[in-house]
Amino acid sequence: MADKKENLNRKKISGAIAEDRPQPHNLEAEKAVIAAMLREPHPCVDIAIELLHNEEVFYSHIHREIFKTVTEIYNNTEMSVDLISIAHQLAKNGKLEDIGGEVFLAELYGSISTTVNIETWCGIVHEFSILRNMINVCSESLLKCYDVESDVKELVDEIETKIYDVRNKNTKSDIVEIRDSIVESFKHIKKILDKEVEVGIPSGFPDLDKLVIGFKPGEMFVLAARPSIGKTSLALNFIRNVALRGGRPRPVAFFSLEMTAEQITRRLLCTEAKISETSFFDGSFKPAEWTRLTPVVDLFRKTKIFIDPTGGLTISELRAKARRLKMMEKIELIVIDYLQLMHSGDKTESRQQEVADISSGIKRLAKDLSIPILVLAQLNREVEKTAGASARPKLSHLRESGAIEQDADIVAFLHRDRDETKNKSLSKEEMKNGVDALLIVEKNRNGQTGTVDLQFFPHRMEFVNKSKFGDEDRPPEKFE
């Protein structure tokens, strides 16, 4: 009876792991990854190597061979990744006909229209690879369990080790023992004290930098305000300062979900030239102002500011584009305008959950790329209804999700008692001296909180540090 039961169990196992039964895979995802590597080697090959490591993760032997060949060519500095060089290398290795020839490579190249989702495709390929490895380990373990001569404890330890290896294969451990990091931390502290490295990128606002020590790598800085208070203008002021000032120009990426690239560029030019943007449209632009505008155009042409005006941006699209800019352009700051206009790209139970997914995704991106991300956020209009337009915002007023507060390293609120530019016409004196504004640093995970007094010039959409404000900062034009 026992022998019959054992034979029955063996048949069940054999049926579950029958060789004619295909193992889990997704050929479409595999094709998409390879196609992305062919279409856009920089940065898709880097991304694929980082996430997949080697060709063994592919189910198809054809895809394994192409991946292996592409990475070999990519790592050879004397060759470029293109269809001709890949076909030549495959033919040289005697593999071209095995994979379907040059026709198959051409079909593969044209199988996708964009490479933006390569990280998602790599994730799918990697997950199915894990399942196949787990099936192989479990199948082998099941058969070994029928070997009554095996030492049970040793067998269980062996199975546990193999399952652990499958789970953690190609995964870098996040656990660091302090004795391994203490020396490096000490060296970094010494470099900071010796002024060899800077803690954060200067924002261009001295009083703010005293509080937050600039934009620091890996940090998520949330700038929030009610509508029409000027958070986009302040963000553009930050971008201008980082890209043009601070000792050296720095590459900056600006993801704008509500303005076009042309609008953003015009705003930057007018702010730097101290010219009212409306003067181009209402006929008040003076020919003499060309003398201020022309050198500013030349100045910005030398900067590395990258603008992406994609509306409805998803977190996966942001991650792919940011990775690409980091690898190819060495960007040092990312600015997003604004968080609530983004989408997670996945189905969620509620908008609050979606915003939470977006917020955590942005924080992870900042850590992964080790650069600061400044993300703008909208405040809930309830603050105006319950406390009036002059009420100071609080963390609880962040719209749609408390997760933003949790994920952010720094949360700052831009506040003005009322929108003076809409409620009344500004006097000549106010146009010259600006209107009062306040930047409230409500949360600072690695430092102190406080307030920064600012002066806002609505006609040129510029904020300046009030404590540093002097005659030389005032606009030279006259308002009559």
pTM (2 d.p.): 0.68
**Using CA atoms, how far apart are residues 306 and 255, in angstroms rounded to an integer?**
8
List the one residue out of 53, 52, 63 whose CA is nearest residue 30: 63
* 421 domain-assigned: yes
What is the separation of C-alpha 116 from the centre of its chain, rounded to a whole number of angstroms?
13
Q: What is the CATH number of the domain that holds 99?
A: 1.10.860.10
CA distances from 392 to 109, 381, 420, 469 (A): 55, 12, 16, 24
Last residue of a domain, which of 139, 168, 197? 168
* Residue 225: pLDDT band with limits 50, 70, 90: confident
Residue with tokens 């600072």: 444
Give yes or no: residues 126 and 223 share one domain: no
Give yes or no: residues 148 and 28 share one domain: yes
What pLDDT shows up at residue 20? 64
* 271 domain-assigned: yes
List the one residue out of 274, 158, 210 whose CA is nearest residue 447: 210
Dihedral sign (CA 246, 250, 255, 259): positive
Give yes or no: residues 47 and 135 share one domain: yes
Last residue of a domain, which of 144, 168, 192? 168
Range of the domain at 60: 2-14+22-168
* 257 domain-assigned: yes
Convert the pLDDT of each residue in 197-213 to its tens digit: 778 889 889 899 889 98
Q: What is the CATH number of the domain that holds 417?
A: 3.40.50.300
pLDDT over 60 (residue 108)? yes
Give yes or no: residues 145 and 229 share one domain: no
Catalytic residues: 258
Give yes or no: residues 227 and 148 share one domain: no
Count how many domains the chain has.
2
Convert the pLDDT of each residue in 41-63 to its tens digit: 888 888 888 888 888 899 999 99
Give yes or no: residues 164 and 212 share one domain: no
Last residue of a domain, which of 111, 142, 168? 168
Give yes or no: residues 320 and 423 share one domain: yes
pLDDT over 70 (residue 169)? no
Give yes or no: residues 32 and 112 share one domain: yes
* Residue 469: pLDDT band with limits 50, 70, 90: very low
* Assigned token pair, 421: 């530019």
What's the whole-number mean pLDDT along residues 113-130? 90
Give yes or no: residues 456 and 339 share one domain: yes
Lowest model confidence (mean pLDDT) among 34-38, 45-49, 54-58, 292-296 = 292-296
* 300 domain-assigned: yes
**Using CA atoms, how far apart are residues 62 and 68, in angstroms rounded to an integer?**
10
Give yes or no: residues 139 and 237 share one domain: no
* 176 domain-assigned: no
Give yes or no: residues 98 and 228 share one domain: no
What is the maximum span of the chain, computed from C-alpha positions, in angstroms? 106
* 180 domain-assigned: no
What's the whole-number mean pLDDT along residues 146-162? 73
* 183 domain-assigned: no
What pLDDT shows up at residue 479? 37
* 189 domain-assigned: no
Give yes or no: residues 158 and 210 share one domain: no
